[in-house]
Structure 1
Amino acid sequence: MIVDSALYRRGTRVPVDCDTSDFTRLRSLLTGDDFVWIGLHEPTAQELGDVAVAFGLHPLAVEDAVNAHQRPKLELYQDSLFLTVKTLWYVDEQDAVETGEINVFMGDDFVVTVRHGQGGALHASRAYLESKQQVLSHGPSAVVYAVCDLVVDGYESVAAALEIDVDEVETSVFSEQRTRDSARIYTLKREIAEVRRAVLPLRDPLRRFVAGSVPGVAVEAAPFFRDVADHLLRVAESIDALDNLLSAAFDAHLASISVQQNEDMRKISAGAALVVVPTLIAGIYGMNFTHMPELHWALGYPMALGMMAATSIGLWIVFKRSGWL
């Protein structure tokens, strides 16, 4: 569906005397440095095909935008560029990172944004740009910057949420209580891998924008892209650090399990000793040899029971002091 479409002149949105879905007519109204920004959300092949005809979009890029599930990338065509970025948002209840996608077609006098998924709504970016005439005066490059800035801000939010969960895992692993953290550690590492698949491929397009090596992107927009690239680098470093922390937490969790198993074996051994020694006494006393003085002694049976109790209590005290029980 078409979310919004508008014509911008010298950084200001101007009214038009035609239907904003009449793209051919809308483009014919452009003069000078004017440009059109068309926003689409999960369009059908027919809807995006109409836009492609009006703005001369490359069919391969159109196919990628319709099918979605693309890797972040920047592709240059004869008179336009095609940028794909991944949107991320975090579902804390499930420790899950959900993904969406934004595809951007940019030419000298147009920008077409195609959004898939629930995240990365661009109405806030459009409102921000319309309130910043100086930024929007950079033309279509300003829209590309706004999209990248919105997406990377989402990455930072996801990284912050993951950091909280990783701290919770560390606290749980090193607590005195017995916990089962391996499943959650695996889940978080899987979600971090999802974030990495979105973050790392985007570094190269932003580097090219900062260097001013992308035709059609205004040189004046380089400082804005530099700021976005710096934020992306911070996210990448944060994600790497979180992944390393989870690996260390998993190793510590395994070591903790090994220590707990050793303690359990000591307790089992101590418990067995408490039973084995009285059994030994009972076994010897119950052999009933003829030439054993205590067999015909009236206090022989109480003596055996006393020895069992005394040795059991003595062993219990020794094991308790040594921490085996």
Structure 2
Amino acid sequence: MITAYCYRSGAIHRRVIGPGDPLPEGCTWIDALKPTEEERTALTGALNVDLPSFEDMMEIEASSRLYTEESCSYMTAPVVANAETSAPEANALTLVLTPTTLVTLRYIEPKSIGIFAERLNRNPHLAATNVAALVGLLDTMVDRTADVLEVIASRLERLSTDVFDRAWPQETRGPATERKRPPAERDLQEVLRGIGKAGDLAGKVRDSLAGLGRVVAYVNAVKPSLSNDQKRTLKTVLRDIQSLTEHADFQAQRVSFLLDATLGAINIEQNNIVKTFSVVAVAFMPPTLIASIYGMNFEVMPELSWPFGYPMALALMVMSGILPLLYFKRRGWL
């Protein structure tokens, strides 16, 4: 779908155009969402520029995402979409700045595009020119990236609660029944998956910020005719990208820390299970020894002919099993 945004008489006019439709007058921004080959070819002919296909966008190397060709600037950066869902994705978004129009080519639906389109209804001057639309869109994309980082921070906060308030036994002076017991290993595996997803999203955001930072620096370099307001906006955007990059790095460190803590909690849970089996095995060793002794087939064993030999052997086995358990309990091993 191709949507044209035109600035006329101090207002933004939005229009969806088909492959055979001419471009409307005053068009400053054209948003091409998952364009078909026919739509892309028609748009290429209408603008007289070479618009890359989806395959071209995917094959662009990081060092070749920013270039100028025949008075048109091509800028490609990864963006994040569906950050609030369980399946976030990242894909390339290409910005083509022609002499009169800004073209966005995308096969992903980030919220920043919709947010910027809504902002144009309140502030039409944000797309009064193609350069103004580019600056405003970059500003909106960085603001949206900050929201995604807040989503990551919120997820990590919940995961941190799951790991430290539930996984580790809470220290308390109350009765043992009031203590929080650690969750099952299966619950910790769910936490581990959540940490992995948060880390993956943080990595996508970090890549997006790096790409946006290169785009902003490139715009400053190739557009010396920017107005003072636009230069100040881009300077603020670049400063925000730097601070958000540091915040993304901090979230990545939190992911690593929580990952280590969760793995430690899983190891402790497994060690507790092994300890239980070890205590049971040790408790049964003395009774097993006694039963083995009286199970030997020797002729001279006085207790075999003693009327109280069988009750005595049972009593010895019970006592030899209870005494190690009492010892373990006293030492705090149980």
Q: TM range, normalised to the smaller chain?
A: 0.7 to 0.9
Aligned to 1:63, which of 52, 59, 70? 52
Cα distance in 2 for partners of 1:5, 1:246 equals 41
Cα distance in 2 for partners of 1:277, 1:152 equals 70
Cα distance in 2 for partners of 1:113, 1:75 equals 15
- Residue equivalent to 1:37: 29
Amino acid across the alignment from 2:222 = V
1:177 aligns with 2:214: no
Cα distance in 1 for partners of 2:56, 2:109 equals 16
> Is the 2:283–2:324 contact (alpha carbons within 8 Å) kept by the matching residues of 1?
yes
1:215 aligns with 2:223: yes
Give 1:216 shift: 6.0
Give 1:141 shift: 1.8
Cα distance in 1 for partners of 2:108, 2:40 equals 16
CA change 1:14–1:315 in 2 (3 A) is closer
> Is the 2:146–2:244 contact (alpha carbons within 8 Å) kept by the matching residues of 1?
yes
- Residue equivalent to 1:106: 97
Cα distance in 2 for partners of 1:38, 1:295 equals 100
- Residue equivalent to 2:179: none
Residue 96 of structure 2 aligns to a residue whose secondary structure is strand
Q: Deviations over 1:91-136 (max 9, x none)?
A: 5452x21235543222333222334323246454245346436655
CA change 1:21–1:7 in 2 (3 A) is farther
CA change 1:287–1:204 in 2 (3 A) is same
Residue 88 of structure 2 aligns to a residue whose secondary structure is strand
Give 1:271 shift: 0.5
Further displaced range: 287-296 or 42-51: 287-296
- Residue equivalent to 1:314: 323
Aligned to 1:145, which of 101, 111, 135? 135
Amino acid across the alignment from 1:63 = P
Q: Deviations over 1:216-263 (max 9, x none)?
A: 651420111122223323332222222222222222233333333333
Residue 148 of structure 1 aligns to a residue whose secondary structure is helix
- Residue equivalent to 1:298: 307
CA change 1:36–1:280 in 2 (3 A) is closer
**TM-score normalised by length of structure 2:** 0.77
Residue 169 of structure 1 aligns to a residue whose secondary structure is helix
Q: Deviations over 1:284-313 (max 9, x none)?
A: 233365554434332222222111112211
- Residue equivalent to 1:206: 216
Residue 118 of structure 1 aligns to a residue whose secondary structure is coil
- Residue equivalent to 2:43: 51
Cα distance in 2 for partners of 1:145, 1:71 equals 24
Give 1:143 shift: 0.3
Cα distance in 1 for partners of 2:113, 2:300 equals 100
> Is the 1:111–1:143 contact (alpha carbons within 8 Å) kept by the matching residues of 2?
yes
Give 1:144 shift: 0.3
> Is the 2:116–2:136 contact (alpha carbons within 8 Å) kept by the matching residues of 1?
yes
Aligned to 1:154, which of 144, 147, 159? 144
Give 1:323 shift: 3.6
Amino acid across the alignment from 2:119 = Y
**TM-score normalised by length of structure 1:** 0.79
Cα distance in 1 for partners of 2:289, 2:55 equals 81
CA change 1:64–1:233 in 2 (3 A) is farther
Cα distance in 1 for partners of 2:213, 2:323 equals 69
**Percent same amino acid at aligned positions?**
24
- Residue equivalent to 2:170: none
Cα distance in 2 for partners of 1:135, 1:86 equals 23
Residue 222 of structure 2 aligns to a residue whose secondary structure is coil
Instruction: In structure 1, list runs of 5 or more residues that go unmatched.
Output: none
Residue 63 of structure 1 aligns to a residue whose secondary structure is coil
Amino acid across the alignment from 1:233 = Q
CA change 1:92–1:5 in 2 (3 A) is closer
Alignment of 1:64-79 (within 5 A): 64=53, 68-69=57-58, 73-79=65-71
Give 1:168 shift: 2.8
Instruction: In structure 2, list runs of 5 or more residues that go unmatched.
Output: 168-181
Residue 38 of structure 1 aligns to a residue whose secondary structure is strand
1:235 aligns with 2:235: no
Amino acid across the alignment from 1:215 = K
